[in-house]
Structure 1
Amino acid sequence: MIKEIKSIPLATFLSQLGHEPTARKGTRLWYKSPLRQEQASSFKVETTLNCWYDFGLGRGGNIIDLAAEMYQLTDVRYLMRCIADSCPVPLVQTVAPSYPQRHSAPSMERFEVVPLEHRALVAYLQERGIPAHIATAHCKEAHYCVNGRFYFAVAFENVSGGWELRNRYFKGCRGRKDISYLPWARDGPSTECAVFEGFIDYLSALTLGIISGADAIILNSVVNVNKAVPYLNGYADINCYLDNDTAGRTSLAELTAIYGSTMIDRSILYSEFNDLNEFLVTQSFTKNILSNENK
């Protein structure tokens, strides 16, 4: 069983958790570390060996080693179940049911979702340029236990009842990975839909006030782009706020091939930045500097 799990491509596993490479150099993929917050990309995946190394932490290994770091677990069977739950690869799906029932519990125990109130989580989103009133109106707060230790994170629900989880030190998902669909529904059906890669970009758009009156779809990973298609049918305009990287451009091309001129690339707004949130943070930083200079 371990051999089959280890054969899962690390890039596939990371993609299912919402992490896409920022660069490819030969057989090496470079990421912003999934284990910590960073601006540069210092997390490497060697695709031929299917191994990883985080230069910031000075640690690396195989897919099970990575899961151990991400979920803070040491039980190998339990980690294999975590990987199987996160990565819908047919080979893994045949492995997962063979575990004894006691190993079928989710990796996160005592999972509870409450209104977003924790000051540390609100502060984290504020550091990302999201004001408290938008954060608390659109996000929840998740509390959970992993291996006897308690954690909390900002939570954002998807259409399958899963939760995207974020805090300063962790980026992951509880439950099935899927898109989030948010109808505007204030003055009847909308003719417009905005598409984002992650919910932080969606919150950024709300902060900037650029999607008023439009429905929204958050992919939560570019691998979910095909799942968005049934929801996008029928819109007169589809505004794409995807990342300015290879994965984002590929997703835009796939959607444009289906919807043609209905698909509008809005990334020109933040063409000098990787994504909409990075643009927002820079804008907020500049405004704060100007405000302080005028005092």
Structure 2
Amino acid sequence: METTLNCWYDFGIGKGGNIVDLAAEIYQSTDMRYLIHCIADSCPMPSMQTVAPPFAPRHSAPSFEDIRVVPLESHALVAYLQERGIPTKISKAHCQQIHYCCRGKQYYSVAFANESDGYEVRNRYFKGCISPKDISIRRIRDGPSAECAVFEGFIDYLSALKLGIIGTDAIILNSVSNVNKAIPHLRDYKAIHCYLDNDVAGKIALGQLTKRFGTKVIDRSTLYSGFNDLNEYLTTSFTNNQNLQL
């Protein structure tokens, strides 16, 4: 848990985010009202003896300030993505570089834009987002497409581009809690290829989409069976096959 940034990251499962994302992982739900209730129940009010006086100063949650988005050029960030198996050409074509200030300190990260002008942000030490949180949509052409690929995170999407396994529109959830936001955008596709994580949360998200769209949903996670996600499969392949050029 990173208290200065008001966020968390679990290196074991490779996920992180804000307190709502944490509740979604713990309680395995995307129902915002239910999650808020669970959060409230987990933080009971203190007894009267410990309540601070009404004039005590309140510390607001940290916010990102002085946000500046530029083309991805940092050697450190490009190297970070290369370590994740993402070639420079792909990372620079699909990602940006974001600079921001939090609690008086300057930071910079890889940025991946979503549909609400927010950003997923990543570097070696931090995984989170600059709100608003939303899905990301990437279309291969201006007109309608018959098929769409669904990814849990943008690193998996970039991994699919590296592996050359998609040539369709793509929706990146940026969190399994965003499945419901993706549903309206998936209605007109004839086939929905799901490249979700091989874990409980990924299977729940797959089940939600299957329940809504039936046989149009195709589970592609078998392509990386034995791995947690597509990027883990890619990085393992890179370790074992130096022909994967970066």
> TM-score category by the smaller chain?
0.7 to 0.9
Counterpart for residue 60 of structure 2 = 78
Report the AA paired with residue 192 of structure 1: E
Instruction: Tell me if the contact between 2:118 and 2:129 (Cα under 8 Å) persists in the aligned partners.
Output: yes
Q: Equivalent of 1:287, from 229, 241, 244?
A: 241
Give the secondary structure class of the aligned counterpart of 1:150.
Answer: strand
Distance 2:171 2:244 in 1: 34
- The answer on whether the counterparts of 1:17 and 1:221 sit within 8 Å (CA) in structure 2 is no
Which fold has the larger relative contact order, with Cα–Cα distance below 8 Å and residues 6 or more apart in sequence? 2
In the comparison of the two structures, how many residue pairs are matched?
A: 206
| Matched residue, 2:12 | none
Unaligned runs of 5+ in 2: 1-15, 29-38, 44-56
Q: Deviations over 1:233-270 (max 9, x none)?
A: 11011000000000000000010011111000000000
The 5 Å alignment of 1:1-295 reads: 13-16=18-21, 20=25, 50=42, 77-79=59-61, 82=62, 107-185=63-141, 188-212=143-167, 214-288=168-242
Letter in 2 for 1:258: R
CA contact (8 A) 1:18 1:172 kept: no
Asked whether the 8 Å contact 2:115–2:135 carries over to 1, the reply is yes
Quote the Cα distance in structure 2 between the aligned partners of 1:203 and 1:17: 24
Amino acid aligned to 1:208: L
CA–CA distance in 1 between the matches of 2:180 and 2:191?
18
Percent pairwise identity: 57
Residue identity opposite 1:235 in structure 2: Y
Q: For 2:109 and 2:118, how far apart are their aligned partners in 1?
A: 14
Structure 1 stretches of 4+ with a deviation exceeding 3 A read 11-15, 17-21
How far is 1:18 from its partner? 10
Contact 1:16 1:177 in 2 (8 A): no
Query: 1:289 and 1:156, CA in 2 relative to 1: closer, same or farther beyond 3 A?
Result: closer
Q: Secondary structure at the match of 2:80?
A: helix
Shift of 1:145: 1.0
State how far apart, in whole Å, the 2-side matches of 1:190 and 1:126 are.
30
RMSD over equivalenced CA pairs, Å: 2.8
Cα deviation, 1:118-175, whole Å, max 9, x if unaligned, reads: 0000000000000000000000000011122111000001111110000000011112
Please tell me whether the aligned partners of residues 18 and 128 of structure 2 are also in contact (alpha carbons under 8 angstroms): no
Deviation of 1:288 after TM superposition, in Å, equals 2.3
